[in-house]
Structure 1
Amino acid sequence: MKDEQLLRYGRHIMLDGLDYDGQQRLLDARVLIVGLGGLGSPVALYLAASGVGELHLADFDHVDLSNLQRQIIHDQARVGQSKVASASARLGEINPDVRLLPIEARLEGQQLQEAVAKVDLVVDCSDNFDLRFALNAACAERRVPLVSGAAIQWAGQVTVFDHREVETPCYRCLYREEGQDELRCAETGVLSPLVGMIGSLQAAEAIKVLAGSGRPLIGRLALFDLRDAEWRTVKYRQDPDCPVCASRRAAGNVDDE
């Protein structure tokens, strides 16, 4: 680690449970952030500031005036730009040492598989169930940890799926692919600080997983009701009928032979 890096990340290096080795793991890490909106904004800002070595930024959308109430990585001057270009410019100002790989596309199919294969961890900041299920399946196949977050109106949630371990639950264990009602902030609203809080927690969980620090939210769903300022954590287990986990267990057994 260079002297300038020791100075920049000194407050991390001081932390019991993170220290020099943990910061070096962050510097060596590659993270895919899917979605650069309300959740993706604080995730990208904090991971870049924290020194994650390489950020792969995926979003197909453009900055709109209606985004600026909550998507704090973008600003008035970048309305009309792609969100990937807007976010890249801001992150480069925060930490020019972080390598930024733009993906200006709707991730799906083979491109999604390839994007997941290139990183050490994925942070899901998307806003639709189809992509969430696809990311979960791709991460399970590649044994890549996945940090998931969601926020709408006054409520949000965060959890971690550690696909490196075959006995841990996945997104499909929590939600069925059929019958999910999608709520979008364009239709129901969202309080702007809520996405900042949930996205910041996602960033913290990503750092914990990458640095090997603390106790990540694996098998635990953190739920926050901002209107009443109440946190609660719910434990959940692997669904024995989950097809994603079944495939992961089968692959794990083959690897062990």
Structure 2
Amino acid sequence: MDGAAATVSIRHRSGEVVEDRAWAEVSVGLLKTAVPWRIFRWYKGQRHYSGVYWSATMWDHVIYESRLELARLLLADFDPSVQCITAQPFLLKAQVEGKLRRHIPDYLLVTRQGPVVVDVKPLRRLSRPEVVFTFDWTRRVVESQGWQYEVWSEPPTVELENIRFLAGYRRDWLFSSDLLDELHEADLDGVPLGQAERLLPCRPAPQVRSAIHHLLWTHHLVTDLDQPLTPSQTLRRGV
């Protein structure tokens, strides 16, 4: 099986549904305008943690249907190579072993390196035969287009918690452009995180500290996120 016989269905913001478009004819531009294929509901006692996340990449809300999907969404939003994030971008259909199969990927990430179709699944469930089967044929279809396919599970805990913390500083309109300019001009390379806020003594320390966290979110400053963020963490110049 390859992608020649596969089709996708896409739902647009206007409510229009494009049905069974040949996979080989689908463009990134078309998928970037898609809205989530499924409409999820909140109800008492539901087993999945669904919600919406305001994405700095999209300047809009992006949905997730589990805490693990939210974690992948956070990392995508933090990744400077990601230019667009679309949740549940399409319904994929293909004839596999004599049956019509259907699958809705969790995310489409449009990156500087090309499109990446992402499925999120807990590590403990990856060995289930039905999961292996679905992800196998989905991979073959996606890669037939020259796109990347990613199956993503739990990330390193410390890295995720650091990025989750920095996400609280992702909204750039909350930070003074003058303050950010002063920090760009300051020599922060090699300065411990706990000392950096003292380099602008005329500014309130909490504002400087928050602005530094924003610059870490935007990668203008970088530090080792594999370790817990502490005042002794060394800052380095980023992009």
**TM-score after normalising by structure 2:** 0.25
Max Rg structure? 2
The structure with the greater share of residues assigned to helix is 1
The structure with the greater share of residues assigned to strand is 2
If asked which structure has higher relative contact order (CA below 8 Å, sep 6+), I would say 1
